[in-house]
Amino acid sequence: MDAASAASALSRGCLDVIFNDIDKATKLFPVPVMQCLQVKPMGPSATGGERYRLVMSDGDHYVQAMLATQANHVIHDEKLVRGSFARVKQYNPQNLKGKNILVIIDLEVIESLGVQEKVGSPTAVETNEAKNQTIASNDFYGNKKEESKHQPMPSRPAAHDNGNIYPIEGLSPFQHKWTIKARVTMKSDIKTWHKPTGEGKLFSVNLLDNSGEIKATGFNDQCDAFYDLLQEGSVYYISSPCRVNLAKKQFSNLPNDYEITFERDTRIEKAEVQADVPQVRFNFCTIQELQNVEKDNTVDVIGVLKDVGEVSEITSKSSGKPFQKRELTLVDDTGYSVRVTVWGKTANSFDANPQSVVAFKGTKVSDFGGKSLSLLSSGTMTVDPDIPDAHRLKGWYDSSGRTDNFATHQNLASMGNAAGRKDENKTISQVKDENLGMDAPAYYAIKATIVFVKQDNFCYPACSKEGCNKKVVQTGDGWYCEKCSLSHERPDYRYIVSLNVADHTSHQWLNCFNETGEAIFGMSANQLMELKENDDAKFMAAFEAVNCKKLNFRCRAKMDNFGDTQRVRYQVMSASLLDFKSEGNKLAELIKQYDMNA
C-alpha cells in the first residue's frame, strides 16, 4: 500500500483527545490507528521477562508508550516494528511525574499497510493543563515550583488526589510516589507464625488493573488495619508509601517480577466507581501445551469438567495435619485431559456439575507419573465464566466433544525433572573444570553439535516382551531371554549409542539410550539395523545425516567403574532439537545484560 493511503488510515488528532478528554476519545476514537515510530527494550526484568518502550504517533502528535507484557507477542513475532501501523484496541493514558505515557494493553498490527516512513511532523502531545501552564509562565516546561508555593495542600488528601493513577505494570522499586486503582481478586486467610525470634501474622491480596496484576502483603499492624477493609471483588485506591520488592515466586501465582508490602502510612480507600477495572485476568495454557511446561511452574487453565471425584483426606508428612482434597478431570478441544486437584474449603464446597466450563487461575504443574495440576491456595476457580474461551469450549463440547476420546500426559514425565533437580546450563569446559560427577551424580544441560557417532555396537538385541528390555542371546531356537525364560523369533533392537559432541569450548563423549537415539536418528533401532543388513549405503547415510545436528542435551555425570579404573560417565537423559528463534531471543537478552553491566 502506498504512503498516502497508509497516512490516511491514521486517527489524526486522537492522542490530543485521549490525554485531554478520555470520555470524548472513547466515542470519537474507539479503536485508534497509530504509527509506531520507535521500539526499545526497557532492559531485562528481575525474572527474565521483557518490557518494551514505544513511541506512537497519530500523524499530528506523538507520545511515549509502554507495552504491557501480555502484548509482547507482537514484537516477538516481528510484526510491530518501526514504521508499522497498529489498531490500539485497549490502552490507559497516564501522566507520570509530569510526563504523558500511554500504557498499551492490547493492539493489532495492520500488516496490509506495511512499513512506511514517519507520517507528518508530529509534536509531543500535551494536556490542557500543561498548555495553560506554558502560556502563563512564558516557559516551555512551565513553572511548577513557583506555582506549587501558592497552592495550599490539604492536611489529609484522598488517596487518589496524589496524582494520576499509576498502572500496576509500571510499578518497580524505583517509583516512590504512586497511586494505583485495583480490584482485589483474591484475599488469603490470616496466617500466624511462632518462632524463637518472635511471632506475628500476615495476609495477602492479589490486585488487578487494566495493565497487570501484583501481590500485596500486610504484616502485623497492617494486617489489623487492612484485612477487614480489603474485600474480594471490590476496587480500591492504594497509595504509597509501600515497599515494592522482588516477588517471591514460590508464594505467588502472578506473572509479575515485583510485589507490594503495606507500610504504616499506606493509604487505602474504596473507589466509588467500581466498573472501570476488570474482574479477572487469565493467561490460559491449553491442556495439550502442558507437556511443554516444566514442573513447579504456575499456569492458568480452562476446560470442560469431565469427571468429579469424591473428597478424600491425606495427612501432611511435615505437619501431621489432615487435608481434604478432591480430584477433577478437565478436557479441552486439543484432545487432551488433565487431573486437577483442589484442596480444603474448595474441595469440600465444590458443587459444579460435569459438563460445566471451569477456569483455574494459579495451578501448579506436577510431573509425578505424568502432568497434573494442583490449585494453589493463592489461586482461584471460576465456574462457567462469561468469557470468549468459555463460550468456545461450551460450543465445542456440546457439538462434538462429549463423544471424543482424550489423551493424557501420564507417560510424558521429563526424565531430567524426575531426578528431582533443576538442570543447570553449562558449557562442556565448565562440566570438566567443575569436575561434575566426581563426588556425587550431577545433572546439567548443554547445547552442543554432534561431530561423530560410533557405528559399532550402536544398539543391542533386547527382549520383545513388553517392559523387559533385557539383552537376549541368539540360540538354535531363536533369541533367548534369561529373565523371562522365553525365546523370540526376532529381538527388539534398542539404541545404546556413543557419540562425541562439541561446543565452542571443548568436546565430550556422551552415552545415549533408546529414546534419545530415536530422537537423534529419527527412526527406530530396528529400522536402522534393517538398513545395516540390507542397504549399506543408506545405513552410512543415516549416520552422516546425524553429524552436525545441534541439540539441547540434558545429561547426568556419574562416577563409574571401567575395569580397574574409575572415571566419570556422561549419560544423556533427554535431547531435543534447538528452537533457533527462542535461542536467538535468549542470546539477545544476554547481550542486553552485558551492555547494561559493561
Dist CA 454 CA 452 (whole Å): 7
Task: Give the dihedral sign, CA 161/280/210/388.
Answer: negative
Indicate if 432 and 552 belong to the same structural domain: yes
State residue 413's pLDDT score: 38
State residue 194's pLDDT score: 84
Indicate if 76 and 224 belong to the same structural domain: no
State residue 567's pLDDT score: 85
Dist CA 141 CA 283 (whole Å): 41
Greatest Cα pair distance in the chain: 107
Task: Please calculate the CA angle 264-270-274 and round it to the nearest 5 degrees.
Answer: 145
Considering the chain, what percentage of its residues have pLDDT values greater than 70?
Answer: 86
Indicate if 527 and 569 belong to the same structural domain: yes
Q: Which of 384, 408, 432 is the last residue of a domain?
A: 408
Q: Which of 62, 92, 124 is the last residue of a domain?
A: 124
State residue 47's pLDDT score: 42
Indicate if 251 and 375 belong to the same structural domain: no
Indicate if 520 and 428 belong to the same structural domain: yes
Tell me which residue of 415, 410, 412, 417 sits closest to 337, measured CA to CA. Answer: 410
- Among 87-101, 235-249, 334-348, which is the least confidently predicted range? 87-101
Rg (Cα) of the chain, in Å, rounded?
30
Whether the Cβ atoms of residue 18 and residue 62 lie closer than 8 Å to each other = no
Give the SS3 label for residue 323: strand
- Among 7-11, 129-133, 344-348, 503-507, which is the least confidently predicted range? 129-133
Selected residue with higher pLDDT from 204 and 295? 204
Indicate if 296 and 385 belong to the same structural domain: yes
Res. 78 pLDDT band, cuts 50 70 90 = confident
Selected residue with higher pLDDT from 588 and 353? 353
In a domain, 14, yes or no: yes
In a domain, 368, yes or no: yes
**Where in the sequence is the domain holding 480, given as residue range(s)?**
465-491
Selected residue with higher pLDDT from 253 and 505? 505
Indicate if 532 and 433 belong to the same structural domain: yes
In a domain, 176, yes or no: yes
Report the pLDDT averaged over residues 159-177: 70
The residue type found at 44 is P
State residue 316's pLDDT score: 67
In a domain, 278, yes or no: no
Asked whether residue 490 carries a pLDDT value surpassing 70, the answer given is yes
Res. 139 pLDDT band, cuts 50 70 90 = very low
The reported pTM is: 0.44
Contacts (Cβ under 8 Å, ≥6 apart) of 557: 431, 436, 437, 441, 442, 443, 444, 568, 569, 570
Report the pLDDT averaged over residues 464-469: 81
Selected residue with higher pLDDT from 524 and 254? 524
Give the SS3 label for residue 326: strand
Indicate if 477 and 453 belong to the same structural domain: no
pLDDT tens per residue, range 261-288: 999 999 999 998 888 787 777 888 899 8
Task: Please calculate the CA angle 55-60-65 and round it to the nearest 5 degrees.
Answer: 20
Number of domains in the chain: 5
CATH code assigned at 513: 2.40.50.140
Indicate if 436 and 480 belong to the same structural domain: no
Q: Give the DSSP per-residue string, 259-275.
A: EEEE-TT-EEEE-S--T
Tell me which residue of 287, 325, 288, 286 sits closest to 308, measured CA to CA. Answer: 325
Dist CA 90 CA 297 (whole Å): 29
Dist CA 130 CA 578 (whole Å): 52
Asked whether residue 181 carries a pLDDT value surpassing 50, the answer given is yes
Instruction: Give the residues across from 577 on adjacent strands.
Output: 551
Number of Cβ atoms within 10 Å of the Cβ of 500? 15
In a domain, 204, yes or no: yes
In a domain, 323, yes or no: yes
Whether the Cβ atoms of residue 63 and residue 15 lie closer than 8 Å to each other = yes
Indicate if 507 and 482 belong to the same structural domain: no
